[in-house]
A and B are shown apart, each in its own frame.
Chain A
């Protein structure tokens, strides 16, 4: 069966520090991968999606970036965090044949 991992689970970072969040998927190949952010008490906002290695599409201009160095690995990064980057970050995957997306456990980021 398919499994999606995210780490770390929680993170507290100072403003201006770098960020690296990792997402990996097991049990599937060539998935579409997605990064979402959820502000407190709000819905999910799509940040990036990827249909293959090295292929990244950005949905929202910001100081975040994403990379996909391997088929089942998706990384969210920032060179300098802002206070507004605080939130709950969720990674999701989808195979080409299905419609629904399956989500990882999320990373709760607090920028102080």
Chain B
């Protein structure tokens, strides 16, 4: 069963506008972590933001924020004031359990294109 679902294969946004990338997850663990990574065309995976299941406030990192809705099991990434350099693949990932081996399960990704 798929544990991380990203339903948007591709998204377009105008430069300077905000965009939301969707991510839903499935787990029976009470303690887990959610991550977003950016993968530009160069292939490197860049860590963007992290949300712990017990964190009461939504995580924010600069222009990135994570809209965490625990009851709906969603962890959407919001990018504000989009820039041309934001064009990339974006992956949502989940770590099950409190830590330990910290294995990450990745979604299929969303390709974001920022238009001038």
User: With A42-B108, A99-B33, A99-B95 as given contacts, are A105 and B43 in contact (CB-CB < 8 Å)?
Assistant: yes
What count of chain A residues pass the 8 Å CB interface test? 25
User: With A46-B104, A99-B35, A99-B50 as given contacts, are A105 and B44 in contact (CB-CB < 8 Å)?
Assistant: yes
Out of A44, A49, A104, name the residue touching B101 (CB < 8 Å). Answer: A49
Residue A53 is within 8 A (CB to CB) of chain B in the complex? no
| Cross-chain contact B43 with A106 (CB below 8 angstroms) | yes
Nearest-CB residue, chain A, relative to B95 = A99
User: With A51-B101, A57-B101, A99-B52 as given contacts, are A106 and B35 in contact (CB-CB < 8 Å)?
Assistant: no
Contact with B along A71-111 (1 / 0, CB 8 A): 00000000000000000101010101001111111101000
What count of chain B residues pass the 8 Å CB interface test? 25
Bound CA span A92–B45, Å: 9
Contact with A along B30-60 (1 / 0, CB 8 A): 0001010100001111110010100000000
- Output the least CB separation between A107 and chain B (Å): 9
Find residues 63-116 in chain B having any chain A CB closer than 8 Å to their own CB: 91, 93, 95, 99, 101-109
Nearest-CB residue, chain B, relative to A9 = B43
Q: Which residues of A contact B (CB under 8 A)?
A: 32, 34, 42-46, 49, 51, 57, 59, 88, 90, 92, 94, 96, 99-106, 108
